[in-house]
Structure 1
């Protein structure tokens, strides 16, 4: 989970100022947390407290109204009777990482990922993106190799994972679709040498940089056994007290080093 927040924060300054290079500052004084982090922490809080997820999403949106939510999500979050809006966007995959940590078998991870995704993104592509992200995290944290993770994602979700990140980068453009974000984010992880390199891969694609890096970071954390200490320190220095406290509580319970 902390890796997802790190990706969001690192990518925050590049979403509207895309770069096509890995040789960029990973964190600057202008970095900030976005809705990706806020809603990831909302799910973590649900898993810690049992608060209904829909209630938590609305509560956290109200607590952080300027975090950068999509228009349809804002309407949903402010509704008295929120119903799923058939979205195939990447907004559910970006917030799903806690589900990959909190459950002890893959079937449950897939079931819960679908459940948490479908409260808003009940389109098949939206659900697939949430499940693929959570499954990759679970497989990574339970010792599967990158080759095994890639094969599972390709066979279970039908994503084309054949192109190396260097082949994707030149023509990749901004998109908010799950089907054109999740495979690329997973590939950024697969082609990385370590956690930091995974974030750099994700950011270098351009596009929806904070969300791509958020998804990549969540998987990379689980595969590499955590987040480098200097990045962890940077993340907690940018999160506010509420988000930081929930993140620490979730990490201590579900993400032991």
Structure 2
């Protein structure tokens, strides 16, 4: 744990779950905007921070609904159970179907229910003529896996991230995106406070992906360009270049080179960039909170704002901890207390035999 106390890790668990929730709730109103003016976002955040201003409550979307399901399954089972997790996804959808679920994921849920979860991998694998979904749905909900495997090996984290994604996303980019997001959260969680070097952090992700063999792609070179981890490695190299240029990089260039859509390849690296870029002041963003800057910056890029901001928020929260999350957000985001409770329960499971 690199000198991080168990008590401090509890704050980081909380920060991660709150960050994922806050990014989702704050980003949802801007979803699919081509871009969002920083002046609009500054005004948006200032209103939320003012206790005298009444603003609409920020509801969560399918991103948080599925993150809650992942967390609760890990809490209830105290291990990964694909059947239990699939059942929780389906139960959450049919209880509240108007959370913004995409049509394709709904088809997977319907098939899982119709087959009574006999083979939880099959419905996702049959999608898109057998190629599976390359969307970011597996990545957007994987933060609890990163927390649950905080004391486990990197290999265990990778395998659980992959399996949790395969329930709905069987395309290589879909589950590889979940793996990358899991590693990004986990590495931020375990990085000593105030000493994270962005370039070294990205290099660590590149190194892990480059060394990893995927049991579903035994004969492929994962560092080559294509559908494997190589595509994400290429994006991480671009990310390093952009970080080196700092304020010389426009938001338009970030979108052009990293993406902002619903595909995992065009959103997970973007979320990681938003987290890392926000460690330094960003021209045009008023907030001095590094955590909040990451979410505001992610939203400003437009596109799939709720998911990209949720992923960036999960990483930022895992690094800055709950003490870095502005208190006023708790007044406006749905399910705040629930996120805190799940974080506490996950932490208790992971560190049950340890003392601060």
TM-score (structure 2 length as normaliser): 0.65
Structure 2 counterpart SS, 1:122:
coil
Counterpart among 331, 337, 340 of residue 248 in structure 1: 340
Could you tell me which runs of 5 or more consecutive residues in structure 1 were left unpaired when the two chains were aligned. none
**Counterpart contact for 2:25–2:58, Cα < 8 Å:** yes
**Corresponding residue of 1:207:** 303
Q: CA 1:97–1:231 in 2, change beyond 3 Å: closer, same or farther?
A: farther
1:149 to 193, 201, 204: 201
Q: Does 1:57 align with 2:89?
A: yes
Select 1:8's aligned residue among 24, 34, 38: 24
Q: What's the counterpart of residue 218 of structure 1?
A: 314
Between 102-111 and 2-11, the greater mean CA deviation after superposition:
102-111
Q: Distance in 2 between matches of 1:41 and 1:196?
A: 22
Whichever of the two has the greater Rg, that structure is 2
Aligned partners of 1:168, 1:119: CA distance in 2, in Å?
A: 37
Look up the match of 2:145. 99
Distance 1:45 1:147 in 2: 34
The two structures have a TM-score, normalised by structure 1, of 0.89
Match of 1:181 in 2: 267
Indicate conservation of the 8 Å contact 1:7/1:215, yes or no: yes
Q: Which residue of 1 aligns with 2:325?
A: 228
Residue 118 of structure 1: CA displacement? 0.7
1:116-145 per-position Cα deviation (integer Å, ceiling 9, x unaligned) = 001111111111110111111111111162
Pair 168,89 (structure 1): closer, same or farther in 2 beyond 3 Å: farther
User: Using the alignment, how far apart are the partners of 1:93 and 1:198 within structure 2?
Assistant: 17
Q: Is the 8 A contact 1:140 1:223 kept in 2?
A: yes
Q: Which runs of 5+ in 2 are unaligned?
A: 1-16, 49-54, 210-228, 280-289, 349-355
TM superposition shift of 1:63? 1.4
**Cα distance per residue 1:220-251 (max 9 Å; x no partner):** 0011122524155235x522xxx843x23321
Counterparts of 1:73-222 in structure 2 under 5 Å? 73-79=105-111, 80-81=114-115, 83-84=123-124, 85=127, 86-103=132-149, 104-105=151-152, 106-143=154-191, 145=196, 146-155=198-207, 156=209, 157=229, 158=233, 159-160=235-236, 161=239, 162-164=241-243, 167=249, 169-171=251-253, 172=255, 175-193=261-279, 194-222=290-318
CA distance in 2, matches of 1:68, 1:251: 24
CA RMSD of aligned residues (A): 2.3
Q: Give the structure 1 partner of residue 102 of structure 2.
A: 70
Instruction: Supply the distance in 2 between the matched residues of 1:217 and 1:163 (Cα, whole angstroms).
Output: 20
On the 8 A contact 1:136/1:219 being kept in 2, the answer is yes
- Partner of 2:242, secondary structure, is coil
Whether contact under 8 Å (2:30, 2:36) holds in the other structure is no
Give, in whole Å, the separation in 2 of the partners of 1:168 and 1:153: 24
Map Cα deviations across residues 52-89 of structure 1 (whole Å, 9 max, x no partner): 11111101111110000111001111222352231100
129 and 234 in structure 1: CA distance in 2 versus 1, 3 angstrom threshold:
farther
